[in-house]
Amino acid sequence: QLQLQESGPGLVKPSETLSLTCTVSGGSISSSSYYWGWIRQPPGKGLEWIGSIYYTGRTYYNPSLKSRVTISVDTSKNQFSLKLNSVTAADTAVYYCARHRRLGYCSGGSCYSWGQGTLVTVSS
C-alpha cells in the first residue's frame, strides 16, 4: 500500500529556508503515471497548491510562490523535496505531499494519495 511521509523541521526562523522531504513507500516514484506535489494549508484556511514534479525532474510551480520555491526529486531514495526560501510568518502552515494522476496514464481513485501533513511554524 502506498504511503507518503513528510519530514523536516517543525520550526523555521523568518528569512531562512524551509526544507521538507516526502518519502514514498509501497510504490515507485519513477512511475510515468503520476505527478508528485506539495500542498499547504495555513491554520484555519484552505488548501494551496505549491508545486509539482514529474520523476524526470520536470517541475511546475504556483506563480505566486515560484520565485521562492524549488522542488526536486531523488529517484534513488524514492523521495522528493521542497525548499521555500525567505520565509515569513505567512508561510506557517501544514505542508502535505501528495501523488496525483497523470492524465492518460492512470485512472481511478487509487491514482491519488496524500501524506498525513506536517506543521511548519515560522517564528524567531
Partner 1 sequence: DIQMTQSPSSLSAAVGDRVTITCQASQDISNFLNWYQQKPGKAPKLLIFDASNLETGVPSRFSGSGSGTDFTFTISSLQPEDIATYYCQQYDNVPPWTFGQGTKVEIK
> Which of 12, 22, 24, 35 touches partner 1 (CB under 8 A)?
35
In contact, 86 and 68? CB cutoff 8 Å: yes
H or E element: which one contains 71?
A: strand 69-74
Q: Which lies closer to partner 1 via its Cβ, residue 15 or residue 64?
A: 64
- Ordered DSSP codes for 7-66: ES-SEE-TTS-EEEEEEEESS-TT-TTEEEEEEEE-TTS--EEEEEE-TTS-EEE-TTTG
- What mask, x for binding partner 1 by CB under 8 A, covers residues 92 to 121? ----x---xx-xx--xxxxxx-xxxx----
39 contributes a contact to partner 1 by CB under 8 A = yes
Q: Give the binding site for partner 1 (CB under 8 A).
A: 35, 37, 39, 46-49, 51-52, 60, 62-63, 96, 100-101, 103-104, 107-112, 114-117
